[in-house]
Amino acid sequence: MDRLYLLSFIEQAPVAVAMFDREMHYIAASQRWLDERGLDRSIIGRTAYEVYPDVDAKFRELHCRALAGETVVREEDHFEVAHGSVQWVRSEVRPWYEGDDQIGGIVIFAEDITARKSAEELLRKSEERFRYAMEAARDGIWDWDLETDEVAYSPAYLEILGYSASGWEADTLGSILDFLHPEDRQYIPTLARNLLHSPGRYELEFRLRAKDGSYRYILSRGKTVEWNAQGAPVRAVGTHTDITDRKAIEEALRQREEVVRRQHEELEAIYQSAPIGLASFDRGLRYRRINKRLAEITGLPQAACVDRTIGETLPAMAQSIEEAAKSVLAGEKSVSERELCGETPAQPGIKRYFKDHWYPVFDDRGEIAGCGVVVDEITERKNIEIKLQQATERLELAQSAARIGIWEWNLLTDEAFVNDQWRLIIGVADDVVLSYELFVSRLHPADRDAFLEMVRQAFAGSGAIDGESRIIRADNGETRWVVSKGQVFFDENRKPIRAMGAVWDITSFKQAQEVLLQRSEDRYQRIVETAQEGIWLLDADAKTLFVNPRMARLLGYDKDEMIGRELLDFVDDEWRGMAEKKLVDREAGVIETHDFKFRRKDGADLWALLSCVPIFEGGIYQGALAMVMDFTERKRLEEDRRLYLENLTHMDRRKDEFLATIGHELRTPLATVALAMDIIESDGSLSEKSRAMCLRTQRQVQHLKRIVEDILQVSRLSMGKIDLQKQCIDVCELLVQVKEIFEARFDEAGIILSASLGGETLLLDADEVRLTQTFSNLLDNAAKYTDRGGVVHLEAMRQGDMAVVSIRDTGVGIPKERLAWIFELFNRMTHGPERVRDGIGVGLALARKIVELHGGHIEARSEGAGKGSEFIVRLPLMKQ
C-alpha cells in the first residue's frame, strides 16, 4: 500500500493502526490507536520508545524484524493500558516501502481482542465449572434403555430445563423429541441413532425447550454401553450440559469479528464506489492511487492512470487542475470551493463542470510528499443553473419587451416587490419606498373610486383584480392609461395573505382606438354622402345646417344654396301650416314619421316620407336630423289607383241604376203580357195550336218575370234599398218546408233528395221570405246541375254560434278556376247543350247578398268538373 495514501487515510481508519519511520518515530496514527492507548497527536514525531520507555524487549526485537523486511503476526499480547485495565491485542507488524523498494519504516496494525479473550476466559471458566459440576453431579445424566425406549434422568438434567422431577413426564425418547427445537428436530434423532451404533464417545449439540418456553443450548455427551448378541445397541448413558451462555458469548464474538471485517471492506468499497472522484498524487503530479469514479472521468482504466500525469489523463483541464495541485504542493493548506469546467476524454465535445478539493500529503519528515484530491461533478446542477439563468433572463427580457410591470405584495409582512418595468410605468425612481398607497396616489382622480371598489371586492372574496384606469406618472405628471390584472390569494380561513399581478401601459392602444373612432366617423361621413335617402340637419331655428347631395338633388338645388335657409322655404304652400305645427312638436321632443309635400326649385311637387329626430343637448333643443325618402312616384301610382277605383264604383253604381231601370221598365209590360195571355187562354174558342202557343208564351213570360224580379232584387240589394223583415225562425223548420216544395220536382227528375235536419232547433233572427228564396235557389241549382240517378243531400247543424246549412250534390261539379267567381253577377257556365239554360247568373249573386245581409257567409266547394258540388251557408244563431 502506498505510503502517502496510507498517511492520508490512516487517520480516519476504523482500526488501531500506527505508522513509524525507520527510527520508530510516529508518522501517523489512527484515532482508535490513540484512544485505546490514551494518547494524543503530540506523539507524532516522537519515537515509540520515548512514548513507552519500558517497552518489552520482545517488542523491540519484533520491530527490528519488521524493519528488516519481515511481516510478523502476534496472535495475543496483553498490555496494561489506560485506567490500569488489561488489553489483549492481536498485532501485525509489517514494513512499508518508499518508491525505490527501500523500507521506509513499519506499520503496526493492532486489533483489540480483549473481548474475545474474555469470552474465551468465560468459556474456560465454564468448562471448569462443568468439571466441578460433574464432580458434584450437577450435570444432567441420562440412562437410555433402547429396547424399552425408556430414559432415566438425573434431577440436574431436569433442572437445566426448569422442571422438577415430579413435573417431568418425558420418559421415553419419543416424548423428549417434543422438546427439541423445530430446526434441530429435522436431523438430531437420526444422527443420534446412528451415533449409538458407534463404539466410541460422541457429542451432540442441540436446543431443548425449557419450561419457560425459552430454548437452552445443550451439549450432549454419550456412549453406548451395552450391545445385544446381534451387535445392536441396547443401552446408552451420557450427560447434558447447558452451554447456552457460552453459545451467546460465541455468537457475540462472531458478530464483532464480522463488524471489523465489514469495516475493512466498507472502507475500500467506499473508496472505490464513492460517487465522488478520489485520487492522490506524488510531487511530480503522477497518480499514486485513483478510484473508479475519477478514472471514469479520465476515460482510462484505474490501473492505467497510476504513474501517469494529470496532463496525460485530462489534457483539456490540466492547467487549472495543476494550478490547485501546485499551490497545495507549495504549502497551501488546502484549495477548495473551486469550479472547473472543460472537456474530458471520456465525453469529448461535452463541457463538464467539477468542484475539486485539494489537500497536501506529508511525508515522515513533515514535508509535503504529494497531494490528494476530492472531485465532485456538478455538470447536471450547473446545466440546470444555466438553463434557469437563461429562463430568468428570457422572462425579464419578455417582461421588459412587453413592458409588463410586475408587483407582489405579501400582506402578512406588508412587503412589496416590483420589477423595474413597474417603476418605469408608474414613473417611480428606484429608491422610492413602495407601498399600496403610493400606487393609489398615482391614480387619476376620476378613476380612483372605481379602482378602489374593484380592489375592495377582490379582497372581499372575488380574488380577481382587473381594470383599466388612468394614472398620473410620478416623474413627469403625464397621464397614462394602464391595465391592472392580478390575483389575491387567501389562506384556508379566506383571509387574504398575498396578492400579485401585472400592470401594463395601454396609452398608445387607447390613442389608436381614438384614431379608429375618428376613422369610423369618416366612414359615417361617407355613408351620409352616398346615402340613397336625403339627410337634412336643421338648427334650433329650423335653418339648414347640412344637407347631403341626395337631399339637394331631390329638391333640385345646389347643396350650398340650401345652407342657412329655413325648412319652410322648401315646403308646398298648403303644407306650411302642418310644417309649422310639426316644428313645435319637435321642440317638445316628438319623433315624427309622416308623408310630406315639398316644393322643388323647378316648382314641381316632391312627395316624401319624412322621419325627423329632434336633437337635445343638456336638455336644450338644438335642432333636428331629418331623413327624406322620395315617393313622388309611389304617390302618383296611388293617385291613379284611387281614380281607377272611383271610376269602377261609379260604373258599378250606373250598372245598378241601369238594372233597376230595366227591371222597372220590363216589369209593367211583362205584367201586361201575362194578363193578356191569361185572358186569351181563358177563351174557350181557341184552336189547339193557339192554346199550345199561348201556354208556351205564358211559361216564358213567367220565366222572364222571375229574371226581372231577381235583377230588381239584386240591384235593390246592391244599392242598399232592401230592408230585411227579421223575425225569430228555426232554420231547420224552414228547410223542411223548402224540401217539401222541391220533393215533386226531384222525383220527376229522378234525383234522390235526402236530408239530415235532425231534432235540433237552430234559431235565427232572419227574414224568412229571403232565406226561403236563397235555399230554394240553391236546391233549384242542385236539381238543374245533377243528372238523373244522382243524389242531393240537405243538412243543417250547429257550429259554435253559427247555424251551418249544406246542400251537397253528385252533379256536374265546378272547375277549380271558376270557384272564385261563382258568386259574381251574371256568372254562368256552359254545361253542354243538353243542360237546361234557363238562368242568367243572378241566383248565386243574390244568395250571397242575402246571406251577407244576415251577417253570414256562403261558400262553394267542388273537387272539379264531374265531381259534384257543395254549397255551405253559415248564419249567426240568435243570441240566447
Q: Output 235 or 818, the one with its CB closest to ligand ADP.
A: 818
Q: How far is the CB of 831 from ligand ADP (least distance, A)?
A: 6
Question: 98-110 burial, b if ≥16 CB within 10 A, otherwise e?
Answer: eeeeeebbbbbbb
List Cβ<8 Å contacts ≥24 apart for 472-477.
472/442, 472/443, 472/444, 473/426, 473/427, 473/442, 474/426, 474/427, 474/428, 474/432, 474/438, 474/442, 475/427, 475/428, 475/429, 476/427
Q: How far is the CB of 870 from ligand ADP (least distance, A)?
A: 9
Q: Output 153 or 823, the one with its CB closest to ligand ADP.
A: 823
Q: How far is the CB of 828 from ligand ADP (least distance, A)?
A: 4
Q: Output 501 or 790, the one with its CB closest to ligand ADP.
A: 790
| H or E element that contains 715 | helix 688-718
Residue 869 within binding range of ligand ADP, rule CB under 6 A: yes
Q: How far is the CB of 606 from ligand ADP (least distance, A)?
A: 50
Q: Output 425 or 844, the one with its CB closest to ligand ADP.
A: 844
Which residues inside 181-210 make contact with ligand ADP, applying CB under 6 A?
A: none
In sign, the C-alpha dihedral spanning 682, 684, 686, 691 is positive
Parallel/antiparallel/unpaired status of strands 201-209 and 287-290:
unpaired
Residue keyed to cell 465535445: 349
Q: Output 224 or 869, the one with its CB closest to ligand ADP.
A: 869
Residue keyed to cell 395601454: 506
Q: Which of 781, 802, 804, 805 lies at the binding interface for ligand ADP (CB under 6 A)?
A: 781
- Binding mask 564-603 toward ligand ADP (x if CB under 6 A, else -) reads ----------------------------------------
Q: How far is the CB of 755 from ligand ADP (least distance, A)?
A: 16
Chain centroid to CA 599: 69
Residue 776 within binding range of ligand ADP, rule CB under 6 A: no
Q: Output 137 or 741, the one with its CB closest to ligand ADP.
A: 741
Q: Output 796 or 845, the one with its CB closest to ligand ADP.
A: 845
List Cβ<8 Å contacts ≥24 apart for 569-576.
570/598, 570/599, 571/596, 571/597, 571/598, 571/599, 572/597, 572/598, 572/599, 572/605, 573/599
Instruction: Tell me the residue type at 874.
Output: R
Tell me how many degrees the CA angle 186-190-191 measures, rounded to the nearest 5.
Answer: 100
| H or E element that contains 535 | strand 534-539
Q: How far is the CB of 731 from ligand ADP (least distance, A)?
A: 20
The set of residues, in sequence order, having a beta carbon less than 8 Å from that of 92 and lying 6+ positions away, is 71, 72, 73, 74, 108, 109, 110, 111
Q: Output 719 or 829, the one with its CB closest to ligand ADP.
A: 829
Tell me how many degrees the CA angle 544-547-548 measures, rounded to the nearest 5.
Answer: 175
Asked if residue 255 lies in contact with residue 268, where contact means CB atoms within 8 angstroms, the answer is no
Residue 794 within binding range of ligand ADP, rule CB under 6 A: no
Here the cell at position 123 is 468459556
Q: Output 105 or 856, the one with its CB closest to ligand ADP.
A: 856
Separation of alpha carbons 201 and 323, rounded Å? 76
Q: How far is the CB of 784 from ligand ADP (least distance, A)?
A: 6
Q: Output 8 or 773, the one with its CB closest to ligand ADP.
A: 773
Question: Which DSSP state fits 877?
Answer: P
Q: How far is the CB of 807 from ligand ADP (least distance, A)?
A: 8
Q: Output 595 or 824, the one with its CB closest to ligand ADP.
A: 824
Which residues inside 796-855 make contact with ligand ADP, applying CB under 6 A?
A: 809, 811-812, 814, 822, 827-829, 839-845
Q: How far is the CB of 665 from ligand ADP (least distance, A)?
A: 21
Here the cell at position 106 is 513499519
Phi/psi at 259 (nearest 5 deg)?
-60, -45
Q: Output 635 or 706, the one with its CB closest to ligand ADP.
A: 706
Number of residues located near ligand ADP, criterion CB under 6 A:
19
Q: Which of 16, 67, 782, 851 lies at the binding interface for ligand ADP (CB under 6 A)?
A: 782
The residue at minimum Cβ distance from ligand ADP is 839
Q: How far is the CB of 636 from ligand ADP (least distance, A)?
A: 39
Q: How far is the CB of 816 from ligand ADP (least distance, A)?
A: 13
Q: How far is the CB of 571 from ligand ADP (least distance, A)?
A: 55
Chain centroid to CA 6: 65
Residue 316 within binding range of ligand ADP, rule CB under 6 A: no
Residue 785 within binding range of ligand ADP, rule CB under 6 A: yes
Dihedral in degrees, nearest 10, Cα atoms 562, 563, 566, 568: 20
| Site for ligand ADP, rule CB under 6 A | 781-782, 785, 809, 811-812, 814, 822, 827-829, 839-845, 869
